[in-house]
Structure 1
Amino acid sequence: MPIRLDNVGIAVRDLEAAIGFFTDLGLTVLGRARISGEWADTAVGLDGNTADIAVLQTPDGHGRIEMFQYVHPEAIEAEPIQPNTIGMHRVAFTVDDINAALQIAARHGCNPLRGVATYEDVYKLTYLRGPSDILVMFAEELQKD
């Protein structure tokens, strides 16, 4: 059976702030909508499900993020996850220039959790907390073809 990853879904507190962050990094908005109705209740598994969504795509056309801000039921706040929390917890991006990516993130009030590390002269990488406490990893390949 053929299978491909379509997107990663992320619930956010503020859809506009999240869109601003990711579009500044170079992603483009493919579409926006308000979803609701019986089909949405069934697909998501929440009665009375209503959410504003946006689908964004990476510049290479291969990666997509679907972000949703719940209108109903009310979103559930939780403690920000840590890098060692079990379950899905980060979105990773390969960037051409980690310093430039960090400057963009800083304009949104998002800074590295600790700093930028170098892994065996292969990658520079860092984790930061993005909008709605999303963990975001930036990795810059040091040995480019």
Structure 2
Amino acid sequence: MAIKLENVGIAVRGLDETISFFTDLGLELVVRDTICGDWADTALGLDGNHAKIAMLQTPDGHGQIELFEYLHPEAIGSDPALPNEIGMHRVAFSVDDIDIALEIAARHNYHPLRGVATYQDVYKLTYLRGPSGIIVMLAQALKKD
């Protein structure tokens, strides 16, 4: 059986703000839509599901994230996850220049949780808390293949 990753879905508080952040980092907006109806209720197991969505992809076309902002039922807020909590809590991106990526993040008022680290002379990387508390990992390869 063949399998491939289609996308990672992330519920957000403000779709426009989140799209702005990720497109400034370099992702491309593929589609925006509003979903609702029996098919959405069935697929998600959530009655009355109504959400605004946006699909973004990396410029190489290999990675996609689907952002969704619930209109109904009301979104349930929670404290942002910590890096060591069980469950899904971050999205990671390779960047050509981590300093430029951090300048872009700072324009949106998002900054590293602690700082930028070097992992075994392979990556320069950091975690930052982005829109809706999403933890975003940015990593720059230090050695070119």
Q: Deviations over 1:40-95 (max 9, x none)?
A: 00001110000000000101110000000000000000011000010111000000
CA distance in 2, matches of 1:120, 1:44: 41
CA distance in 2, matches of 1:117, 1:43: 41
Cα distance, 1:120 vs structure 2: 1.2
Quote the residue 1:42 is aligned against. 42
TM-score by length of 1: 0.99
Quote the residue 2:58 is aligned against. 58
CA distance in 1, matches of 2:13, 2:66: 14
1:29 correspondence with 2:24: no
Q: State the SS of the aligned residue for 1:43.
A: helix
Q: Deviations over 1:96-120 (max 9, x none)?
A: 0000000000011100000000011
CA distance in 2, matches of 1:122, 1:40: 43
Q: State the SS of the aligned residue for 1:67.
A: strand
What amino acid is aligned across from residue 59 of structure 2 in structure 1? P
Supply the RMSD in Å over aligned alpha carbons.
0.4
CA distance in 1, matches of 2:14, 2:86: 25
Quote the residue 2:69 is aligned against. 69
Q: Percent identity?
A: 70
CA distance in 2, matches of 1:39, 1:119: 45
Quote the residue 1:17 is aligned against. 17
CA distance in 1, matches of 2:120, 2:32: 41
Q: State the SS of the aligned residue for 2:17.
A: helix
CA distance in 1, matches of 2:139, 2:28: 20
Quote the residue 2:120 is aligned against. 120
The runs of 5 or more residues in structure 1 that have no matched partner are: none
CA distance in 2, matches of 1:120, 1:52: 41
Cα distance, 1:7 vs structure 2: 0.1
Q: State the SS of the aligned residue for 1:109.
A: coil
